[in-house]
Amino acid sequence: MANADELGLSKVNVASAYEQVFRELEGRILDGRLRAGDQLPTEMDLAERFEVNRSTVREGIRRLESEGLVQRLGRRRLVVTLPRHSDLTPRTSRALVMHQVTFRELWHVALAMEPLAARLAAFHATPKDLEALSANLEATAQVIDRGESPAALDTEFQSLVAEAARNRALSLSREPIGLLLRPALEALIPLLPQAGPRLLEAHREVYDAIRVGDGERAFEWMYKHVIDFQRGYELAQLPLDEPVSMPDAECDARAPQRDPDVVSASLQVHGGGRTCG
């Protein structure tokens, strides 16, 4: 367990004490003096070092917990942890929603990130990654055969590709974008009957390219995949420039009820693209 004296902690300004307790400890975590797995000093030790009461220390620690920087093991033991994707992604996604980002803005970012992830995955994917991607393809095929939406599995496929890329900055950056694009795909699929099969075909092509280590082919197919998503969105006359929503909030509430046969015919006339996911 880390000793409070060794961390070089000093008395804080009581006017905003709990916030400063949080900042002091956060700083020690970010600069590496406290690493993942290290145990924090006790609340009593921290209170003595900061010269504040224990309730103030407790509030500062609650901030650390809410940020995913520490977790409580048992009643008393607090250890430093790495924030998980599941902690960071919803928070970032909510911020994007509050800034009223649009489908078009998210799509432009996805167009840059997803093909890059596919290219890197072709060079770094492990047998375990390939196994997970293969299982995803099988599950996607089954869902499509049942006439159900593959949107959740599409989101998972993109995340698995990013994980196989072995680039943590890329993986953490793209996750909130993928989460917010899922409702757009949910809205699109009922309007384009061919969307599911084409999505699956593109996923299979990306997977095959990754499996044989062909980075350029993986990049090319993922690029087509993302381009076709936007093309399908336009053909379905869905709003490109309206603010997006969180996945479980309005998934397809923004989608106007149009005749799928009309949209399908339009897609065939305009040509191009092989998937809408």
pLDDT tens for residues 71-119?
888 777 889 888 776 666 777 888 888 899 999 999 999 999 999 999 9
State whether residue 80 is helix, strand or coil: strand
| pLDDT value of position 94 | 85
List beta partners, residue 104.
Answer: none
Average pLDDT score over the chain:
83
Question: pLDDT tens digits, residue range 12-55?
Answer: 554 588 888 988 998 888 888 888 889 998 888 999 988 899 89
Q: What pLDDT is stored for residue 73 in this prediction? A: 83
Q: Which has the higher per-residue pLDDT, 206 or 75?
A: 206
pLDDT of 271 above 70: no
Is the per-residue pLDDT at 57 higher than 80?
yes
Which CA distances in Å does 30 have to 19, 25, 27, 175? 16, 9, 5, 22
> Is the predicted pLDDT of residue 6 greater than 90, yes or no?
no
> How confident is the model at residue 237, as a pLDDT?
87
Domain residue limits, the chain: 14-80, 86-270
Q: Is the pLDDT of residue 245 over 90?
A: no
- pTM, two decimal places: 0.68
Is the separation of the CB atoms in 164 and 222 below 8 Å?
no
Q: Find residue 80's DSSP bridge partners.
A: 70
What pLDDT score does 252 carry?
A: 38
Share of the chain above pLDDT 70, in %: 82
pLDDT tens figures, 118-142? 999 999 999 999 999 999 999 999 9
Domain 14-80 grouped into CATH 1.10.10.10:
yes
Q: How far apart are CA 199 and CA 270, in angstroms?
A: 18
The answer to whether 180 and 93 are in contact (CB under 8 A) is yes
Least confident of 41-45, 84-88, 161-165, 196-200: 84-88
Res. 167: pLDDT tops 90: yes
Output phi, psi for 8, to 5 deg: 70, 35
Give the pLDDT of residue 102: 94
Q: Does domain 86-270 have CATH number 3.30.460.10?
A: no
